[in-house]
Structure formats: C-alpha cells, structure tokens
C-alpha cells in the first residue's frame, strides 16, 4: 500500500521532522497524517495518529474517507481499514542514525526498507545474527521492535522473519535488549488486553 505521510502541520515527513526520542537509538514523529488512495474502489482514506507514551505506540485519532471518483464503492466508503494505513505509515515516522559521527544524518526506517518489503536490508540482518555483535544487534532489535510495536504488530514474529531466527531466539533478544535499557517507551500489547 502506498501512503503519503506528513507531519500534523502538513510538512513532508523526513529525518529532520522526526523529533521525539524513544528508546536509546530511535526518534519518532510525535504525530502524523497519512493518506492512501484506492483507485479500484474510488476511495481515499486519511488518518491522523499521535504517539501515546503510556501505551507505547501510535493511537489513531481521526479517520476521514472520501470518494475520489464518481464510481466509488459505497460500502468501502463507510468502512475504512485504518490499521493497514497506520502500518504502512509507521516506517516513515521512525528515524535512526546508522553512524556515530558528528555529521551523521537521521534516516527514516522507510529509507532502509527494501523493495521486498523487508524493514532492514539483508546485509544488516546477516551482520547482527553473528556472535559478538551485541550492540549492533540491540540497535537492530530496537528498530524492528519499535517499528512493529508502534504499529501494533507482533514484534517477535517480525524480528524472527526479518533476522531469519526462531521466535524463541527473537523473544530472548527482545528480553535482553529491554534489560539493556534499549526499548524504553516502546510497548507491545499484541495478544494481551490493553490494561495489561
């Protein structure tokens, strides 16, 4: 799904527009507006979402559907799919620095995403599964966990898929990254009631 993502004040989303620190290595946009057009149904859906620190993820606060052709699908106009738009927008709203130098730039996770739909490039995934790559591994776990948790997706499944490791290993790495203080401000409630 192709989405157009902007800041809540209408600026283009970029590494410079993403200002709120989360975890130890990430910055996120405090809020965003994302628009997706479905030419087949003739419907455009726009959502606005804001980061909620108590929940550790983005919360959709506004959903607007509108017809963009005369031959639009009335049922689709009444029933939006905001979660899919949220999930497609999240990589544009998270920024990371891949280098520690004074001239290091902030890249969005969308800048890292491959054409195959992977969040991190294959070379990065291969590097972090090697023994002795703890700091680099926790950086990548933070990127993947943050991307999935902020979109309300299951982090263990995403990490296992992206790094080609068993879910048990992914779960252990999440626990260790959290123990190292790497996932502060990020919470996944997938599969648990919101109050837990």
Residues whose CB falls within 8 Å of the CB of residue 190, separated by 6 or more in sequence, listed in order: 152, 153, 154, 155
pLDDT at 193: 39
pLDDT at 159: 94
What is the total residue count of the chain?
196
pLDDT at 59: 92
pLDDT at 189: 64
pLDDT at 192: 43
pLDDT tens track, the chain, 196 positions: 789 999 999 999 988 889 999 888 889 999 999 999 988 888 899 999 999 988 888 999 999 988 888 887 777 777 777 888 998 899 999 998 877 777 878 888 888 776 667 788 888 888 888 876 677 888 899 999 988 988 888 999 999 999 999 999 999 999 999 998 888 888 776 544 333 3
Is pTM beyond 0.75? Reply is yes
Reference 13, options 25, 24, 27; nearest CA is 27
Reference 187, options 59, 85, 44; nearest CA is 59
pLDDT at 51: 93
pLDDT at 115: 62
């Amino acid at each position: 799904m192709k989405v157009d993502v902007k800041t809540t004040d209408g600026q283009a989303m970029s590494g410079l527009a993403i200002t709120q620190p989360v975890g130890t290595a990430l910055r996120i946009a405090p809020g965003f507006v994302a628009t997706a057009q479905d030419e087949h149904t003739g419907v455009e859906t726009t959502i606005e979402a804001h980061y909620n620190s108590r929940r550790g993820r983005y919360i959709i606060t506004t959903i607007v559907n509108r017809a963009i052709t005369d031959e639009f699908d009335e049922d689709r106009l009444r029933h939006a799919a905001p979660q899919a738009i949220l999930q497609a927008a999240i990589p544009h709203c998270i920024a990371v620095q891949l280098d520690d130098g004074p001239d290091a730039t902030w890249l969005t996770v969308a800048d890292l995403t491959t054409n195959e739909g992977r969040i991190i490039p294959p070379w990065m995934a291969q590097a972090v599964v090697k023994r002795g790559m703890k700091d680099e591994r926790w950086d990548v776990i933070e990127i993947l966990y943050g991307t999935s948790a902020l979109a309300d997706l299951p982090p263990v499944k995403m990490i296992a898929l992206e790094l080609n490791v068993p879910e048990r290993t992914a779960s252990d790495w999440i626990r260790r990254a959290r123990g190292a203080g790497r996932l502060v401000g990020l919470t996944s409630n997938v599969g648990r009631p919101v109050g837990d």
